[in-house]
Amino acid sequence: MLDVVNLSHTYGKGPSAHQALGGIDLNVAEGELVCVVGPSGCGKSTLLRSIAGLIKPTAGQIRIRDVAVSDTPGDLAVVFQDYSRSLFPWMTVGDNVALPLRRRGGDRAARRAAAADALEEVGLAAAATKYPWELSGGMQQRVAIARALAYRPSLLLMDEPFGSVDAQTREDLEDLVLKVRELHRMTVLLITHDIDESVYLGDRVIVLKKSPATVVGELSVKLPFPRDQIATRELPAFVHLRAEVGRLVRGKDPFRPFQA
């Protein structure tokens, strides 16, 4: 569904140039939830911004459903970490969710109905007439998720979506993503620096190393669904996977206890 081929990006020119991405290859299959994990400042966001068409990568190719992406694809949605900056404070929650639907055509009533459905899915049916800043941080991020859902994107990109909320809210939002993704068979690429989160959410985890970012490993997460914050995280397979991902992130060799 999404193919990223040999993607490179360099900020600036000359001696002060900084190469953020150093030839990244990855793909996401239809309906798959892939987590990209890597240390802070490794270029994860540059990767996501390239896919979203917000920056033009210096080299490489991005294809969505075999169509090369130039500019903004227009058929994807992004959930940013900074919900308070990404939602528009001068609009009600309902209008925020309905706004992108203008790109989809349809009349005002249809947009409102779609927005109301999406808000209901994230458990905020009653908040449509409120303003974003009247809601808690976790609720604001739910609104941002509802906005992405209402748009019915063929690809949902999430950039550290739970980086600014407390631990309890984070777990709730993780389960919300799993739920809506299951419901709509959505294709999701989620970027995080949290190793546990990448394993808990992902069908597959892609690990990046930093400066410039390159793919150092890829793990298939074969944990049963539905996932559960307590039960899934105590499975031996979960513990093993998070150790593997952790080693890749830290750039250490696999731990081999029986070899001297």
Binding residues (CB under 8 A) for another protein: these are 49, 52-54, 72-78, 80, 82, 84-86, 88-90, 99-100, 103, 131, 133-136, 151, 157
Give min distance, CB of 225 to another protein, in A.
29
Q: Could you tell me which residues are beta bridge partners of residue 3?
A: 27, 63
Give min distance, CB of 52 to another protein, in A.
5
222 neighbors 237 (Cβ within 8 angstroms): yes
Give min distance, CB of 160 to another protein, in A.
12
Q: Could you tell me which residues are beta bridge partners of residue 27?
A: 3
Nearer to another protein, 11 or 131 (CB): 131
Nearer to another protein, 80 or 200 (CB): 80
Nearer to another protein, 84 or 211 (CB): 84
**Residues ≥6 apart with Cβ < 8 Å to 48:** 36, 78, 157, 159, 189, 191
Is the C-alpha dihedral spanning 158, 161, 167, 171 positive or negative? Answer: negative
Length of the chain (residues): 260
DSSP label of 101: G
Give min distance, CB of 140 to another protein, in A.
8
Nearer to another protein, 20 or 52 (CB): 52
Helix boundaries (H) for 137-215: 137-150, 167-184, 195-201
Nearer to another protein, 52 or 128 (CB): 52
Give min distance, CB of 148 to another protein, in A.
9
